[in-house]
Amino acid sequence: MLLEERFRALREASRRAPYPTASERRQNLKKLDRIVAANQEAVAKAIDQDFGGRHKEEILFSEVYVSLNAVRHARKNVSEWMGERPRLLDWPLWPARASLMPQPLGLVGIIAPWNYPLFLTIAPLAGALAAGNRVLIKPSEYTPAFSELLERMMDEAFGGDPVAVVLGGPEIGRTFAELPFDHLLFTGSTAVGRDVMRAAAANLTPVTLELGGKSPALICESANLSRAAEDIIYGKLLNGGQTCIAPDYVLLPAAKLEQFIAAAQSAIHRYWPDGDFTSIINEKHRARIQSYIDEAAARGVKSVAAGRAVLLIDPPDDLAVMRDEIFGPVLPVKTYSGLDEALSFINSRDRPLAFYLFAKDSASIDRVTRETVSGALCINDTLVHIASEELPFGGIGASGMGQYHGREGFDTFSKLKPVFRRYAFGLGRSLRPPYGKMHELLRKVLIG
């Protein structure tokens, strides 16, 4: 079977040459840079085909440009990241030196999603290659045109080593997760993430899970409401709402509800005046999204249509739209009477992958920063934090575990091996049997 063959070949290669030089790693990253840049038009065409409509410019900036930024950042910094990291030793261990040596893990598996199929493959791949690993990739079966293109690109660039791609449906995905990788990264839903973690546990394979959840957008009294509405609508509806860090619901003061609705409608019509809106990936997801709207209507929830988006006003918390990650152009808008109420609501739910706060006053910003827990906090904007290679990306709790991007990604795909070097006779030798006066002296010095 191709999956097992490619797994074995990469694993054997990682055992034969376990520590690529900085030059070799930069060369691999250069190959990755060139193949992505050379195929950007083909990537845009394939993704547009898979979605049944996704604007070329949106694909270029939200897939290609951020992917190239990740690769180039890693290539620029890999030599520094590879260096040994000195650690201080307590005096009883002198004379000696200690450090951490970043060491490749070996073979990394990446299970990539369909919503940003290039970026959410290339960004972790850049970190894994910088760390000196071999990488086997399983792209989504929901994007067949892109997945086939990705396989051709990686074969052309690397010839099967250090990067290879395997295609297939859910059965291949399950088998992939059961293989004894040295590390496994999965991006997708929380439900599937649990299955991946169970499969990896059989081999004690470490996992990085980039999941999702319900990322709140909290508008405080001091916020610029019009700008907040613009930022939230953009973050919510980019890629048709099919973004893991999209704002999933809005909390705002009750008195500002009508103003927000008007500003949100205006922003939607301004950003997508001709309905040039990314399509929902397939019929299964279209039906799921429609079911949220239908259930809300059956419960008498007020809805406001704007282009191809729907705002649901104050839906009850037991509705599916308030329990599930929406992943589509439906935005619940909830009102609150005070910041205490809003924070209590947010903190009673699973910890989100992203938290969007809109406020001008430092007191509110400081309080929300201290009193909430999330994968990331983005203040007075949406989505943009994911584009920074200087900020780690990752969830917490039900929204994921582990992180990557930049140096943190390099560390995720490395073993930071402690190295202790003795240079001469150490004081510790005096503690060996038979125990005598030195032992008693040290006890008094260290314990008192």
Q: Give the residue numbers marked as catalytic.
A: 210, 244
Amino acid, res. 316: P
Q: Whole-angstrom Cα distance, residue 414 to residue 187?
A: 19
Residues 279, 281, 285, CA angle at the centre, nearest 5°?
110
Cis amide leading into 95 (omega within 30): yes
| Cα–Cα dist 56/47, whole Å | 9
3-state SS track over 67-135: HHHHHHHHHHHHHHHHCCEEECCCHHHCCEEEEEEEEECCEEEEECCCCCCCHHHHHHHHHHHHCCCEE
Rounded CA gap, 427 and 210, in Å? Answer: 47
Which residues are CB-neighbours of 143 under 8 A, at least 6 positions away? 46, 47, 50, 114, 117, 281
The tokens for 103 are 């060491």
Q: What torsion do the CA atoms of 196, 168, 17, 35 make, to the nearest 10 degrees?
A: -120
Strands 309-313 and 302-306 turn out to be antiparallel
Give the phi and the psi of residue 23 in degrees, each rounded to 5.
-60, -45
Contact 243, 54 (CB under 8 A): no
- Degrees, nearest 5: CA angle 63-68-162: 105
Task: Count CB neighbours of 22 within 10 A.
Answer: 15
For residues 235 and 216, give the distance between their C-alpha atoms in angstroms, rounded to a whole number. Answer: 12
**Residue 253 CB neighbour total at 10 angstroms:** 19
277 secondary structure, DSSP code = -
